[in-house]
A = this chain, B = another copy of it.
Amino acid sequence: MSEFDEPIERLIEYFRSLPGVGKKTAQRYAFYILENSKEKAQNFANAIVEVKEKVRLCSVCGNYSSSEICPICQKRNRKIVCVVQEPKDVVSMEKVKSFDGVYHILFGTINPLENKGPNDIRIKELLARISKDGVQEVIMATNPDVEGEATAMYIAKILKPLGVKVTRLAQGISMGSDIEFADEITLEKALKARQEI
């Protein structure tokens, strides 16, 4: 009899489907809903439905937006484009307050193991922006792993003949990290990219 009633069990299952949520956490979330008002539950439910109804992809960068063109693409310098893998990477990049350019979301990387080729991510859309917006620089901010690197190299190869400057986020040791625990690839990259002080 460790089972819950059907409606509770179903809600727990939905919470469990969220990333990183286990059985125990899902139970806590479900109990939270049970403990709170009907009105709050209804509003929560509405927020979930609404986000799917109102939010679409920005026609310029591909990021989630409730208007045809997202606020970032509307206001900022479209001649500098930072290419990222996922919308959540935009959230991280936006912490850098000094960046005034716009983004381009690939929604993935080229990944042969997952059968994802260049046509499965938004490369075509990136090429279309180059001439349309007179893009001067494309900053590749894909992840520093095998797929991210390969995707950055692939895109750079296509863009360079078009006369676009293509750059990559610098790699090296992180602020506040410990050299003792840095992996050898990171240390090697940091050494190669060393700068005079």
User: What's the dominant secondary structure at chain A's contact region?
Assistant: helix
Question: Are A49 and B55 closer than 8 Å at their CB atoms?
Answer: no
Complex: how many Å from CA A10 to CA B29? 18
Question: Are A5 and B38 closer than 8 Å at their CB atoms?
Answer: no
A45 cross-chain contacts in B, Cβ below 8 A: 44-46, 48-49
15 contacts between A and B (CB under 8 A): A1-B71, A2-B91, A3-B71, A5-B54, A5-B67, A7-B51, A7-B54, A8-B66, A10-B51, A11-B47, A11-B48, A17-B32, A34-B55, A41-B51, A45-B46
Residues of A within 8 A of B (CB): 1-8, 10-11, 13-14, 17-20, 25, 27-34, 38, 41-55, 64-67, 70-72, 75-76, 86-88, 91, 94-95
